[in-house]
Amino acid sequence: MDRQLIRQLKQIVGERYVLSDPAEMYVYECDGLTLHRKPPSLVVLPETAQQISEIVQLAEGRSIAYLARGAGTGLSGGALAVQGGLILQMSRMNRILEIDLDNRCVTVEPCVVNLDVSKAVLPHGFYFAPDPSSQMASTIGGNIAENSGGPHTLKYGTTVNHVLGLDVVLSGGRIVQLGGKSSDRLGYDLVGLFVGSEGTFGIVTKAILRLSPIPQKVKTFLAAYSSVREASQTVSDIIGAGIVPAALEMLDRLTIQAVEDSVYAAGYPRDAEAVLLVELDGLEAGMERLAERIVALCRQNAATEIRIARSNEEREKLWAGRKKAFGAMGRLMPGLYVQDAVIPRSSLPELMPKINAIAAGHGIAVANVFHAGDGNLHPNLLYDGQDPEQIQRVLQAVEEIMKLCVDAGGSITGEHGVGFEKKDFMPMIFSPEDLDIMGRVKSVFNPTGLCNPQKIFPTSKSCGESGIPYKIQYKTLDGKTEEIFRI
């Protein structure tokens, strides 16, 4: 990386905020998906949208790839600098700019941690609903990029349902405001489109987030089972009874063991094959009756134990085991491959044993902890990263599981995003035409393709396996011919 570029970047953000020492680059070589690694060439820490605009112009002027990174907790390699290039580490943009209770919203910079938004407004009776398991670390910018979900997605939707407005920096350094505090937007829903674009449209510099009122009452309980099938059937029965719990989560035996052996021990019954965590929230009136109904459904499916959290501490403990399950699995094996496929929820009882059989067939241990209520699976394949042969078996199992879920009418990712990891699975669910349309949409925001390249879209096979961007011509509204790059 040339000295002139480093000098120019330092002029923009200040001497201290450009990192170029190769040793320092290893901190940024991967995100939460550690299977793929590539250090960037440079890391720059901007503080304002204006600085980001200048950095983008500088990078594009030199055809250098760039991407924004928050806490690096993503699980699909979305923040992986595939081509090296520049990482904009957003840590300095971490302020809550405004709390506007009358309009039930907050305005934040992108590197505010998810949980800190809720902490700031809890005293006023509100919270920010999206709650990815990484919420103690992951940032709003990353949540927006990935359209993050979490256990409470079942009732409250994903991040996109809670974002009202965005300030973004696009290709060419354009600073654009999308949406705003008014809930009606004119024309196309650009905010809805931008959320979940995995950092490939541009860089978020500010977000207006919708706040939700804290539920009057929360009831959390645990049900243990001697088979995954019975737990899965309970999930189907609860949904079938017309009840929408706030969350409906499942952990299997291996996960339970890992959690109970760790510092996050939540008191899950060790001898259970599966545990369901069910949470109801909302009005106190009527909740008891719904809870009894759910307990009856658990019993009907031969639950071996049902335990209701009697205090906030007990509730938090039950949840800590769930939210820290990924961390706890570190005890089982050094490498962890978190899968994220989605299936129609009614096929849970049928597919769960098949997934476990696929992993077993490849001699890979699998620990399941997932959002059962909406059919979003997380089979965690455990492996030793030092053993290339094991990695190959893991990748083979992942592909087979993916195919199983897609054939059942599902999707390849429910909340972690496609990123770098799953881009070659995209043709499993999207035709070349579908991908072509997505490519055209991307080209509107990111015509140079330099903003977070080689994500989402499958490795190009149409242009001699080269992966080199190719050009397409379009007519603009005023009749001019315009060339865009496709990747």
Partner 1 sequence: MVQTIPIRVKEVREPRSVQELQDLVRAACADRRTLVPTGQGTKLHWGNAVPEFDLLVKMTAFDAVVEYHPADLTVTVQAGARFSEVQELLKENGQWIPADPPYSHQATVGGVVACNSDGPLRFGYGPVRDSVIGMRLVHGDGTVSKAGGKVVKNVAGYDLCKLYAGSFGTLGILTEISFKLRPLPEATETVLATFGSFPEVYEAVSRILRSPLLPVALVHLSPEAALSRGLQQAHTLLVRLAETAEGVAWQREALRAWLPGFDLAPGDDLWERCMERDERFPVTLRASVPVKELAALYAELEQIAESEIVSHPGTGRIYAHAPALPEVRELRGAAQRMGGSLMVERAPEGWKRNVDVWGFSNAAELELMRTLKARLDPHHILNPGRLF
Segment 99 to 118, residues that bind partner 1, using CB under 8 A: 100-104
Element (H, E) at 119: helix 114-121
**Which residues 3-22 are close enough to bind partner 1 by CB under 8 A?**
none
Determine the size of the site formed for partner 1 (CB under 8 A).
94
User: Minimum distance between the CB of residue 97 and partner 1, rounded to whole angstroms?
Assistant: 15
- Give the angle subtended at the CA of 353 by the CAs of 352 and 354, to the nearest 5°: 90
Place of tokens 């990695």: 391
- 371 binds partner 1, rule: CB under 8 A: yes
User: Minimum distance between the CB of residue 202 and partner 1, rounded to whole angstroms?
Assistant: 10
Give the C-alpha separation, 4 to 58, whole Å: 11
**Which residues 382-411 are close enough to bind partner 1 by CB under 8 A?**
409-411
Quick one: which of 4, 386, 431, 462 contacts partner 1 (CB under 8 A)?
431
Quick one: which of 73, 114, 138, 413 contacts partner 1 (CB under 8 A)?
413
Q: Taking the alpha carbons of 356, 420, 197, 210 in that order, is the dihedral positive or negative?
A: positive
User: Minimum distance between the CB of residue 192 and partner 1, rounded to whole angstroms?
Assistant: 3
**Which residues 190-249 are close enough to bind partner 1 by CB under 8 A?**
190, 192-193, 195-197, 213, 215-216, 236, 239-240, 242-244
8 A C-beta contact, residue 74 and residue 416: yes
Q: Kindly state the greatest CA–CA separation across the chain.
A: 71
Within a 10 A sphere around the Cβ of 61, how many other Cβ atoms? 11
- 441 binds partner 1, rule: CB under 8 A: yes
Burial class of residue 442, CB neighbours in 10 A (0-12, 13-18, 19+)? buried
8 A C-beta contact, residue 378 and residue 369: yes
- Give the angle subtended at the CA of 425 by the CAs of 420 and 427, to the nearest 5°: 120
- 160 binds partner 1, rule: CB under 8 A: yes
**Residue count of the chain:** 487
* Interface mask toward partner 1 for 265-304; x: CB under 8 A: -----------------xxxxxx-xx--------------
Return the structure tokens found at 310.
């009697």
Nearer to partner 1, 24 or 436 (CB): 436
Give the C-alpha separation, 247 to 20, whole Å: 44
* Interface mask toward partner 1 for 314-333; x: CB under 8 A: --------------------
- 412 binds partner 1, rule: CB under 8 A: yes
Phi-psi region of 27 (alpha: psi -120 to 50; beta: other; left: phi over 0): alpha
Quick one: which of 15, 310, 477, 483 contacts partner 1 (CB under 8 A)?
477
Return the structure tokens found at 17.
């905020």
Quick one: which of 422, 449, 452, 453 contacts partner 1 (CB under 8 A)?
422
- Where does this chain touch partner 1 (CB under 8 A) — which range of 7-15, 86-94, 314-322, 342-350? 342-350
User: Minimum distance between the CB of residue 119 and partner 1, rounded to whole angstroms?
Assistant: 19
- 136 binds partner 1, rule: CB under 8 A: no
